[in-house]
Structure 1
Amino acid sequence: MSESSNRPPLSIPPGKWSFTRWNTIGQLEALEVHHPLFRATLFVQGAHLAHFAPREHTDWLWLSSEARYEPGRAIRGGIPICWPWFGDPARNPPEVRKRINTGAAHGFARTALWKLEDVRENAHEVEISLSQDANEDFSEVWTGRALALITFVFSVKGCQIALTTTNLGTSPLAFSQALHTYLPTPDIERTRLLGLGQSHYIDTLENWEYRTQEGPVYFHGETDRIYETGESLTVVTPLGSRKLTSVGSDSTVVWNPGPDKAARLSDFPDSGWKTMLCVETANAASDYRVLNEGQSHTLGVFIGRK
């Protein structure tokens, strides 16, 4: 999946980073990357990537103008991490659902504090790794023991994200997850998604019925679908194209709230649905994963130029 250079980054201790620095945004701590070739902003809460742009490019991610940076509050936009379950707990398979002790959607990782593991830098790229030890501290909402390690690799060619889950418990661990990527567009009705033609999908807006995609995906109002494929996809907007290449995924979630839901969403402008879409690399619905003791699974995506 990697599109990075062949030259390995060098691990550098805090305080001696050349391109990465700490900053406080609102009430949250973030790592800001100011590299000659690209820029990025990564929050420790949620391991949440809020901004990425190669030099002389606008932001490759969509971030709500009403996003709030507060402890325990999910950031609207960028790439939230949905883990160790995706979506409504009641809509998850029984093996996943039996571990969830709350009605809250999308897991706890997106609002939990992650631990910074490493920063590696060189002239071509910056790599940042964070971890989340899901243990008894989360027992009120989830029953399990797992380690999540996420690594971001930024370069002029794009952004690579790899989320590795390791089962630290003694019994099989079933989980679902998604890299909930928000992408920008100047006009959602002149935007299309390529690569899902002939794929089966669940239309969650139509009683979770199974349907088949014919040709590109177009957006004409609210859209919420779980596609049964993890193929490489291309988002085409009036300003250009982006390619998303996934690994460890056999499901893709495509979402846009449309005008009515946008008006009800928190931290979301009423007209925001016109300038964004979500294409989520996932293990969702029947694509949930099960790990035996000590086993690991990596879900990843590379967002690059077309």
Structure 2
Amino acid sequence: MSDSSSRPPATATPGHWSFTRWNTVGQLEALEVNHPLFRAVLFLQGAQLTHFAPADERNWLWMSELARFQPGRAIRGGMPVCWPWFGIPARNAPEIRKRILRDTPHGFARTSLWRLEDVRESAHEVEISLSLHANDEFAAVWHGHAMALITFSFSVRGCQVGLTTTNLGRDPLAFSQALHTYLPTEDIVRTRILGLGSSQYIDTLQGWQYVNQEGPVYFDGEVDRIYEAGEPVSLVTPGNKRILNPVGSDSTVVWNPGPEKAKRLSDFPESGWQKMLCIETANAASDYRVLNEGQSHTLGLFLGRKGKRP
């Protein structure tokens, strides 16, 4: 479905970039940003961010030490883009399921080669835009015609992401999606999420039953929940506090594989579940979206320090 042998053209001339450079990691091409104020690494495959941090700080994203960087293989960690469906096809709405022609989770965007559209740099910020044209090239896996445009804005304040979907077909387009953000922690049992305490969630481990959340979210084993909430949340770990501020979302997925599932996951260290979690800004479950011809929808996220917003 994609050809990684040729580098997509950029609207910004590479020689004019001050802080951004091409780099090859494993078998994949990436854009590496080394700004005096921050650093970022963004892969063309999957439009996947694997590193962001202000200068002299550790990666704000969790990456598996076993991650492999190969064409067509999902990268374990960072911020995968799940699109144009989230989760397993069978758990999506009928309008979404009828377009899916292959029984694989999380869509095809995360293993597809995206096109570099633009790189913009300033003394305080770097902005990178990538696009994926989902047309007849994907006819074997999905029935639809849409454009996904994702823009990453990096600054010392944090990382802002906007994923815009435009329906280029004549029929209404139903889709689900998520920015599947992996986040690090020093100790999962001493980690909590604030901001979801007054919401309901679907517990996918308990027959997809609805449960009321009371107080902060804590972790004591495998967690896989879809919260019916699109408000800012705070992640409190033993060493850091982060805020995730969503846009265009009324659902938030919280995930940790726990000890047993971690053993079965690909490219995942057996004890890795103790040092990570996912908070996913999503349009999932009943929060899926429908676009008429020519309409667009943007799913966005700001990841920053607690108390600081863009």
TM-score by length of 1: 0.96
Name the counterpart of 2:279. 279
Structure 2 distance, partners of 1:233, 1:15, is: 40
The residue type paired with residue 135 of structure 1 is N
**Contact 1:12–1:121 (CA<8 Å) still a contact in 2?**
no
Percent identity over paired residues: 73
Structure 1 distance, partners of 2:85, 2:265, is: 21
Name the counterpart of 1:231. 231
SS of residue in 2 equivalent to 1:21: strand
Task: Note the 1:81-230 alignment, pairs <5 A.
Answer: 81-230=81-230
Structure 2 distance, partners of 1:298, 1:12, is: 24
The residue type paired with residue 17 of structure 1 is W
SS of residue in 2 equivalent to 1:260: helix
Shift of the alpha carbon at 1:12? 4.4
Structure 2 distance, partners of 1:13, 1:113, is: 20
Structure 1 distance, partners of 2:305, 2:94, is: 39
Structure 2 distance, partners of 1:14, 1:40, is: 17
Name the counterpart of 1:240. 240
TM-score by length of 2: 0.95
Q: Deviation string for 1:65-108 (max 9, x for gaps)?
A: 00000000000000000000000000001011110001100000
SS of residue in 1 equivalent to 2:151: strand
Q: Deviation string for 1:7-33 (max 9, x for gaps)?
A: xxxx84222200000000000000000
SS of residue in 1 equivalent to 2:286: helix
Structure 1 distance, partners of 2:39, 2:12, is: 18
Name the counterpart of 2:297. 297
SS of residue in 2 equivalent to 1:31: strand
Structure 1 distance, partners of 2:114, 2:198, is: 39
SS of residue in 1 equivalent to 2:68: coil
Shift of the alpha carbon at 1:57? 1.1
Q: Deviation string for 1:132-168 (max 9, x for gaps)?
A: 0000110111000000000000000000000000000
Unaligned runs of 5+ in 1: 1-10
Q: Deviation string for 1:163-194 (max 9, x for gaps)?
A: 00000000000000000000000000000000
The residue type paired with residue 146 of structure 2 is A
**Contact 1:121–1:127 (CA<8 Å) still a contact in 2?**
yes
Task: Note the 1:248-287 alignment, pairs <5 A.
Answer: 248-287=248-287
The residue type paired with residue 100 of structure 1 is I
Name the counterpart of 2:34. 34
Task: Note the 1:37-56 alignment, pairs <5 A.
Answer: 37-56=37-56
SS of residue in 2 equivalent to 1:148: strand
Structure 1 distance, partners of 2:257, 2:293, is: 38
Structure 1 distance, partners of 2:45, 2:70, is: 9
Structure 1 distance, partners of 2:81, 2:230, is: 17
The residue type paired with residue 122 of structure 1 is S
Q: Deviation string for 1:16-51 (max 9, x for gaps)?
A: 200000000000000000000000000000000000
C-alpha root-mean-square deviation of aligned residues, in Å? 0.7
The residue type paired with residue 120 of structure 1 is R
Structure 2 distance, partners of 1:39, 1:78, is: 14
Structure 1 distance, partners of 2:131, 2:94, is: 27
Consecutive aligned runs of 4 or more in structure 1 exceeding 2 Å deviation: none
Unaligned runs of 5+ in 2: 1-10
Shift of the alpha carbon at 1:125? 0.4
Structure 2 distance, partners of 1:23, 1:81, is: 21
SS of residue in 2 equivalent to 1:100: coil
Name the counterpart of 1:75. 75
Q: How many residues align?
A: 296
